[in-house]
Structure 1
Amino acid sequence: MKPHIVIRKFHRWLGLLIGVQVVLWLAGGLVMSFFDIDQVRGSHNSVKVQPVAIEQKVSFDSSKLIASLPFTATKIELTHWQDRLVWRASNKQQVQIVDAQSGDVLSPFNQVSAELVANRDFSGNGQLVASQLIEQSSYEIRGRELPLWQMQFDDADNTRIYVSPATGEVVARRNDTWRLFDFFWMLHIMDYQERDDFNHPLLIIAALLGLLFSLTGVYLVVKTVFLKRKLNV
């Protein structure tokens, strides 16, 4: 059997095997390039953070903070939380937020505090309608340390804001645009569970097959069009 006949049959079988995934790759790339990344991340509906000058006098100084901590901190920062001057002490396992004036421990942050954070972060057309503590991971908050406060807004894009009870910070913003983007991202990288790993064997094998499909297609085009035309001249 001639080589080009073998390659033609191989190309056809590869097309049957990998064709659907090639279409999904192209569709995923098109969809993901279509959306504004700020809209996907929800930052278009978030209040822009302005630099804050620390001008207040610190009553509860760092020596008092260190003496009060129940753990050994490897990092201590003087920062702001909701217009309050606070200390943030942390190590790889723990974090504690302490009021820099009174010395009061603010963390972990309760539901009322988390709702305050979410309401001040959200600038879209909607109201906070529900809040709950999430203790089990889901695709929306994968890779985030649990538990998290989930804040549900009633805007047109079905926004959810996730606030860490440990730090009192917004750690994720999710909306319907992000969910659609994430669905096509899942199809694109072929990670149907964690949706994060683009180095897994399934994707590598599919990519190799896709490359072979493309190369055999190029060979057949050259063989049947250009070389045949040259022979007929």
Structure 2
Amino acid sequence: MNKNIIRKAHRWLGLLFSVTILMSAGSGVIHNVMTRTQAPPPSARPSGEGLDVSQIRMAVGEAVARLPEAAQGISAVNVRSIGGQPWYQVYVKGGHAAQYVSAVDGRVDPSRDEAYASEIASAFLGGKKGLKTDFLTSFNTEYINIFRILPVYRFDLDDELNTRVYVSTTTGSVTRHTDDSRQFEARIFTNFHKLGFIPNKDVRDLVLTTLTFATCVVSLLGIALFFITRPKRPSPGKQATKARK
């Protein structure tokens, strides 16, 4: 193996891809900072002031029968407290949105989903009312795929931090809580660690794979160069000749 070729390849490739190592190290620093400055993801917990089961007047079967789509089959039924009253949250097979049927009088009200989301957000924010600004059915640059749950409502609070929360009525919980300061840190981490500034995921994955592979090549060249250029020990015969001299 030609030492000069390996040395030059290691030197120039190392210089070229040192940016990748620098960005990875920077993302590690930011990650440690974020673990200190940002709270862990909100835990899923029941919302509202509690469920008064004595108000329930309709059985599940009666309530579900009020839905024309019920003939397709039912995936799940939950009991939710919304506006101080019990509601059946019904998921029809093949359907994406939940249907709501009053457990008191059997009326169907599609608007209960947003009302329920608003109550979840308000409970999380200590009673403050947030303004609904979005309903997400796909991930975006702020609500990224690591949060996993869709669809979600976004509610913004009119405060100095520009607080916003993302709410899932499926889990009955806040799935993400952020503000301008937290999002600034998150953007740095995403851009450094995942090359988030590249909008196309396929291109981003290709670039990440290429850079990571190139870094491995540089490391292997460095290991090879270490063994090729290490000082060679003289043979025992040569050592004995030097000793006699």
**Could you report, residue by residue, the CA deviation over 1:49-104 in whole angstroms, capped at 9, with x for unpaired residues?**
58x98671431212222211132343222332345432221134332132322323
The sequence identity of aligned pairs, in percent, is: 21
Match of 2:155 in 1: 150
Which has the higher Rg, Structure 1 or Structure 2?
2
- Closer/same/farther in 2, CA of residues 88 and 153 from structure 1, 3 Å limit: same
Q: Is the 8 A contact 1:151 1:160 kept in 2?
A: yes
- CA offset digits 1:2-57 (Å, max 9, x no partner): 622111111122123211111101111221133228935553xx89658x986714
Question: 8 Å contact 2:87–2:102 — kept in the other structure?
Answer: yes
Q: Which residue in 2 is equivalent to 1:217?
A: 222
CA RMSD in angstroms comes to 4.1
| 1:41-190 matches, cutoff 5 A | 43=42, 49=46, 56-57=53-54, 58-71=56-69, 72-82=72-82, 84-90=85-91, 91-94=93-96, 95-109=98-112, 114-123=117-126, 128=129, 130-133=131-134, 138-142=140-144, 145=150, 148-154=153-159, 156=161, 158-163=162-167, 170-175=174-179, 176-190=181-195
Structure 2: gaps of 5 or more residues: 240-245
Paired letter, 2:77 = E
1:149/1:163 contact within 8 Å kept: yes
- The number of residue pairs the alignment matches comes to 225
* TM-score, structure 2 as length reference: 0.69
Correspondences of 1:14-33 after superposition (within 5 Å): 14-33=13-32
Are the counterparts in 2 of residues 108 and 166 from structure 1 also a CA contact under 8 Å?
Answer: no
Conservation of the 8 A alpha-carbon contact between 2:121 and 2:155: no
TM-score, normalising length from structure 1?
0.72
Rounded Cα–Cα distance in structure 2 between residues aligned with 1:194 and 1:106: 39
Distance (whole Å) between structure 2 residues aligned to residue 17 and residue 37 of structure 1: 33
Instruction: Indicate the residue corresponding to 2:2 in structure 1.
Output: 3
> In the TM superposition, what is the alpha-carbon distance from 1:168 to its structure 2 partner?
7.1
2:3 counterpart SS class:
helix
Unaligned runs of 5+ in 1: none
Residues 1:68 and 1:193: Cα distance change in structure 2 (over 3 Å): farther
For 1:96 and 1:55, locate their aligned partners in 2 and report how far apart those are by CA, in whole Å: 21
* Equivalent AA in structure 1 for residue 133 of structure 2: Q
